[in-house]
Amino acid sequence: MKPAVLPDFSLLLAGRVMCFFLCLPFLILFQLKAVQLSSNLEVIAIAEVKFDSDLPEFRTSGGANSSSTKHEVFVQPVMWVKAIDIVLDRLVMQGADLSTVLAIGGSAQQHGSLYWSRHGVKTLRNLNSDKFLHVQIDDSAFTVNRTPIWMDGSTEKQCVEMETAIGGRAEMLNISGSKCYARFTGPQIRKIYQERSNAYEETQRISLVSSFCASVFLGDIAPIDYGDASERFGFSPECIVTAFTGDNLSALSGMVLEQNCLVMSLGTSDTLIMNLKEQPRLEEGHVLCHPTEIGHFVGLMCFRNGSLVRDLFNKIEASSDWNKFNELLDSTPRGNYGNMALHFHSIEIIPNVKGVLRWTRNNSSENSETAKGVQKFLSPQTEIRALIEGQMLHKRAVASDMGFHFGDETKIVATGGASVNKSILQVISDVFNAPVFVQNESEAALFGAAYRAKYAIYLNSLVDVSRICHENNNVQHTATTGPLSYLDYITRFIPNHLRIVCEPSKDCEQIYSPMVERYRKMALILAKK
């Protein structure tokens, strides 16, 4: 028996008026949240369960357990089952009537795998609606009770083996859109196969965290009988369970973005997320199928030297006061009189270099002496502007290398902790020569799953109309009424979900275009060091 990773799945049915969704977010791994929305996408009820405080018996810290050695980070899967029980109860206490739910969507952390035992699969198919889920889906439902999650870093060996077996890293990237990372599910499964062969052999099916959650609602691992989805909480048998997806993709769905938007997440780590029409050829970063645009890709690139370096400068140059930091940043002109800096304090992903380089207007790559740069700039103002401009020039270069097309229609959508900082956002707007927007709704991953469920209801209603037209021989109707795109459909309900916060200055392209080229030269110098 060979276990297989299940893809996400969806069931589409016609129905009534409400949709509902729940999610296990990826970075804020410590909680499970659920929201019920009306057919107009207004919030009816919202509830959450914090793993550390609401489920102390699992002894998690930040929603995870870790071993003191071996870089293993895991959870006991029953904790998630218990959390689903609690969050649904809390939703009902908030006034949700789950029997009216038309469709369920969801998202969960991108990586993480659950190993169902034969008994577990059988239990899932025979859930008793009178009992709590966690009483039925207990430890015996899984062959592995230390489920590896996205923070696990214990499979470097398996990554090397898999890349070697497939013909090298470039080939892995070519086939899968990403090189092999320790947290990814493939090497995690291989590790279980190698180190716990008995558990592997006894495993009936393997779920991702997202498809695991969907399975609990379906009452089966595969969508063979959606009627089984009706369980303890009184969901209708006709309720649709849409594909539960990874939280990055769910967040992208929740932002409901036009194709020309570049998302800049400025949280604990900086990340660029972009719509790509073609797959880029880069050694790093991730390329995924777009969650709402058929045939498009999502490019995702993380940066190691983002907020941590900004935090450090805020501490050293502005006594940890962001207002002071901003005063210093705002007191220097665009272009910083030719002073530029790259701060790769830890080894960066792209370019794969470590080091710091400061250039004044007199430095260049002309010879080794002029390329060296200076040890320090003369003022904290210059230091801060050089840092922020350098970080954003770096991101602009990487985004265009990944294949993002900049043009008059480009919009930047900023999210995460630093997106409240208008001075930093103005630098972004100028460096990218594009307006910067923020979202009105902060829980993008949560709402993204609900919007996808709503869109599934819409698509399904079209299938029904099309079938009726076909049955009545109204072929013309079926030929002329194609479905609205996800964007067009969802923005009907939430037309003002983005708010503009900064616009580019008139002279910015003139200033920053040459600086992108200068950034590239500086990065090359650092790479040679």
Coil, helix or strand at residue 101 = strand
Which of 268, 442, 510, 513 is in the footprint of ligand ADP by CB under 6 A? 268
Q: Rule CB under 6 A: is residue 222 a binding residue for ligand ADP?
A: no
Residue 58 to residue 51: CA distance in whole angstroms: 8
Q: How far is the CB of 420 from ligand ADP (least distance, A)?
A: 5
Region class of 336: left (phi > 0), else alpha (psi between -120 and 50), else beta:
left
Q: Does 307 bind ligand ADP (CB under 6 A)?
A: yes
CA within 13 Å, CB half, 223: 19
The only residue of 311, 327, 441, 509 in contact with ligand ADP, by rule CB under 6 A: 311
338 versus 417: smaller Cβ distance to ligand ADP: 417
Find the residue with minimal CB distance to ligand ADP: 417
**Cβ contacts of 252 within 8 Å, gap of 6 or more:** 263, 273, 290, 291, 292, 298, 444, 448
Q: Which residues in 142-181 contact ligand ADP (CB under 6 A)? A: none
Asked if 141 touches ligand ADP (CB under 6 A), the answer is: no
- Does 267 bind ligand ADP (CB under 6 A)? Our answer is yes
Minimum CB distance to ligand ADP, residue 111 (Å): 17
Give the end-to-end CA distance of the chain in Å, rounded to a whole number.
Answer: 52
Distance CA 353, CA 346 (A): 8
User: Minimal distance in Å, beta carbon 430 to ligand ADP?
Assistant: 17
Cβ 303 to ligand ADP, closest distance in Å? 13
Interaction between residue 27 and ligand ADP (CB under 6 A): yes
Pairwise CA distance, residues 396 & 402, whole Å: 10
In the bound complex, what is the minimum distance in angstroms from residue 27's beta carbon to ligand ADP? 5
Nearest-CA neighbor of 397 among 388, 387, 406? 406
The footprint of ligand ADP on this chain (CB under 6 A) covers a number of residues equal to 14
Q: Let me know: does 483 contact 463? Beta carbons within 8 Å.
A: no
Q: Report the b/e string of 308-323 with b at 16+ CB within 10 A.
A: ebbbebbeebbeeebe
- Length of the chain (residues): 529
Give the one residue of 421, 426, 433, 460 binding ligand ADP; rule: CB under 6 A.
421
Q: How far is the CB of 418 from ligand ADP (least distance, A)?
A: 3
Token reading at 258: 């036009």
Under rule CB under 6 A, which residues in 401-420 are in contact with ligand ADP? 416-418, 420
Least distance between ligand ADP and beta carbon 249 (Å): 17
User: Is position 426 an interface residue for ligand ADP (rule: CB under 6 A)?
Assistant: no
Instruction: For residue 95, count CB atoms less than 10 angstroms from its CB and return exposed for 0-12, middle for 13-18, buried for 19 or more.
Output: exposed
Nearer to ligand ADP, 8 or 48 (CB): 48
- Interface ranges with ligand ADP (CB under 6 A): 27-28, 267-268, 307, 310-311, 322, 416-418, 420-421, 424
